[in-house]
Chains A and B, each alone.
Chain A
């Protein structure tokens, strides 16, 4: 089946700035592939190069084995769903969807059939005569999808297509998009800065930073087994701590201040200064008097009520502050501001990471357009 995209040593420079700095990616046919990263990481530029709106400075873009890096966009068998939708405001929905078919000189009868078919696919039957401006954001988004899908491209490129929608609609459309992709079976290359979006829909995710790919893996692996500090920090909240790896092989012995901890995840064979990370939901808070391996005493600094859970910010005796997530199970949690606790960081939740030096993402997950 067609629709395999391969990027080979892809570089794009604007002046002195390398927006994309040597990317190698393979996106097999029929995959839902996401490029995830903060704004300025090069994900949109990469997508625009695949679409043909930008020419790479170096490298190759292969579609089913053929280099198309210098093919103009109107001759590529890929279609794009734009962040702003870019629906032609002077054409109604049917004419918008038919635009590409007319360029391919498809017969009138077939155009009508395929437009109707595609509008049904995106559940917009009956909207043929509407102008884009007379539709809601979610409906416009579907028109944009239909306009691209009607051409039966081998690859569909999506540039933050849900970015302009409100949270609830976005969630609903995430599920729909994934279902649609499985239905049509073509390669989706999806660009987003929203980790939840990427985790929900993708078969595989490429986490990008500073024009480079940090990690390519299925959603569960990028989240559970981040290979770099950047990935750990960008996906969800991670507690990052400086440590000294002092020994061990399968179990890495770590020195954090005056405390010795074991870690069984990540680069356990590392030596010297490393970073360790643990997800907030894996941190167990125990009463002050409890003891055991991988326990560090601390003091509750702040409690943040999040609805389904409570975020507890704990200042550890080693000087760093970590977050713990306590599920809301209906009982009041015993910790208050100022309570002395023991933070249990289980060895199988502690991950030793190498630091690639990529700029860490800001902690807030606000909508930052790329």
Chain B
């Protein structure tokens, strides 16, 4: 079965979307990702869309769903690598991608995750575990 690979990188999971997304593939990705977040106790997800030539409302919605699902499983999502032409088109399309964090590339996305999770960890040190 066709599926999008998910790479484990320390505390994070990296997904590189390189193929034209369709419904079945999106559902498979949601299943695979949520399982891996739980298995590896991942705290951060990076979704690299630099190979995507377009992002339509279907893919935008899928990214939003993945970010929401991940948040429920205590993981932060950062979408990285959006092409400039895609950003221009998304704004005209009316898709603001609210609630989805973005960074220019994987490296910067990792820095965003590190900063966010680092802060949370410091907060967590002072409060009791439950």
| Chain B binds chain A | no
- B residues near A, CB below 8 A? none
